[in-house]
Chain A
Amino acid sequence: MSLEDAVSQLRSGMTIGLGGWGSRRKPMAFVRALLRSDVTDLTVVTYGGPDLGLLCSAGKVRKAYYGFVSLDSAPFYDPWFAKARTGAELVSREMDEGMVKTGLQAAAARLPFQPTRAGLGSDVLGFWDGELQTVASPYPDAQGRTETLIAMPALNLDAAFVHLDIGDKHGNAGYTGVDPYFDDLYCLAAERRYVSVDRLVETEELVKAVPQQSIILNRMMVDGVVESPGGSHFTLSGSQGRDEKFQRHYVEAAKDPETWAAFKARYLDVSEAEYQSAVAEFAAEQAK
């Protein structure tokens, strides 16, 4: 399937999960396809990076569930997310990083919630407008005290988008870097699951290319596979480092409407293939 095919199955108002972490192995080609579509009014669940930033640049995010939003290198703060926050353009469901994992685990296991300590005593409860509750343990501790914990609600997703390094057409897919992040949980928590891969290969080649433990998605966890070389650009993936120069270019461009319009025309109002060519041209210009 194509990026466009996957995105055409979305509807405005959906809750989507975006895999990866910060500026690491983000499903950026899917995000760019979302920007080209008229899908909007999204609720986004993510360990946020420039994926959330780009969606905010197009005003597509109504509500965001996140543990943090970081570019992972200077200037660290995503400029478009910061604009959306300071302009109160989205509803924030900020939480502890571990709470995101807990909420995805609950959804993956089809549970209404999972208890956690994380969030207790912090202002996170206040950020959720009553949407986040506590739960008392039915088992007293050794001193006879009752522990009252955060009841992290399941983060059920209408759709999940993840990017992995290598996969087959059935949806078996693996990573080649140092960290799987939480892409398996996003897929288990979602109704519709889409994975883009740098390399689409036959199953026989996949299982020879990476250790078995790296094949974190099996075909039960995936509905659509897209071959998208460089699909995580400008974030890092196992097969390529982060394009730091381009990420800085993105941040600089966000500073005023004129430079952003130019950035958008050159890199976003174009097909994925044209994006990849424009990025290669940018790298060549920078190397001069």
Chain B
Amino acid sequence: MSTASRAEVCAVACAEAYRDNGEVIASAFGTIPAIGVRLARHTFSPDLMISDGEATAVRGTWAVGGPADGDAEAWLPFNQIFNLVWNGKRHIMMIPTQLDIYGNCNISAIGDHARPKVQLLGVRGAPGNTVYHPTSYWVPKHSTRVFVPKVDMVSGVGTDNARKAGPAATRYHELRTVVTDLAVLDFTPDTGRLRLVSVHPGVTVDDVVAATGFELVIGSDVPHTRMPTAAELELIRTVIDPRTLRDKEVQG
């Protein structure tokens, strides 16, 4: 077994975000988070519910980039997804276009809202997701373009804005994990600021600092992100991503 690639380390870090989640919908955007949730369910988080990306919850473990070939276990049309979002039975991993020091996330547009320079998708479900259930983020390319001091518009609610909006916003607000191609981060409970948890093997703390457009909370001794086990690598390479789509998202 050759050593793990950076993409494989990232996939396992995404899987770790879903450890001990219990029985919730694991919604994951991007190839590497999709590998992560399947890996988590196949190994240490068997109770996760995973959709085929359309309207059906599917059992089993299938390859990314193709149709779900497991057995259907439930119906999850969009209407029901909103009910489950509001009920809190979900942990989503979204891809922010911008993410700031307090975890505010922008996926809506770049520039001024009334007349944006670039129109993206709009806020989508980000405002609701962040105030109703656990939310994590996946950043395929950690850079100062993504990690900005202040986002152009708040789609996903950060810790500072949740607190400002009061108990109705903070009650179920829980930003969990930010996985990037360089590191794993989370949020300090007291200040709500983004904190470096670990750097991936081959990455230094200085690399992360240089690629981040604001000051991170950094402890005195930052560990390395754990390496995938041999069994995890086997599963990723032969079952979950045999076509190595993960290398298109993260190289090295």
Contacts and interface: CB of A to CB of B under 8 A. Distances in A.
Identify which of B55, B75, B131, B155 gathers the most chain A CB atoms within 10 Å of its CB.
B131
Contacts of B222: none
B169 interface: yes
Contacts of A112: none
Contacts, number: 145
A123 interface: yes
Nearest to B114: A88
Given A97-B125, A118-B132, A121-B164, A179 B55 contact: yes
B115 A124 contact: no
B122 A123 contact: no
Nearest to B122: A68
A147 B167 contact: yes
Given A68-B124, A97-B124, A98-B125, A77 B119 contact: yes
A153 B115 CA distance: 24
Given A117-B168, A124-B127, A147-B167, A92 B121 contact: no
B94 interface: no
Given A117-B172, A121-B161, A123-B155, A98 B123 contact: no
B126 A85 contact: no
A243 to B, nearest CB: 17
Contacts of B118: 82, 86
B120 A77 contact: yes
Nearest to A88: B115
B166 A147 contact: yes
A81 B166 CA distance: 34
Interface string A100-127: 0100000000000000111111111011
A179 B77 contact: yes
B3 to A, nearest CB: 33
A99 B154 contact: no
Interface residues of A, number: 46
Nearest to B159: A121
Contact of B79 (A48, A86, A180): A180
Contacts of B169: 117, 120-121
A148 B170 CA distance: 11
Contacts of B119: 69, 77, 81-82, 85-86
B113 A126 contact: yes
Contact of A122 (B86, B109, B116, B157): B157
A88 B119 CA distance: 11
Contacts of A98: 82, 85-86, 125, 128
B113 A92 contact: yes
Given A121-B173, A178-B56, A179-B78, 10 more contacts: A68-B121, A68-B122, A96-B128, A98-B85, A116-B128, A117-B168, A119-B128, A120-B168, A121-B154, A181-B78
20 contacts: A69-B121, A70-B121, A77-B120, A85-B119, A94-B108, A94-B123, A98-B128, A99-B127, A117-B131, A118-B128, A119-B127, A120-B166, A121-B154, A121-B169, A122-B154, A123-B153, A147-B167, A180-B77, A181-B79, A182-B79
A-B residue pairs, 5 tightest by C-beta: A118-B128, A147-B168, A121-B157, A121-B165, A122-B127
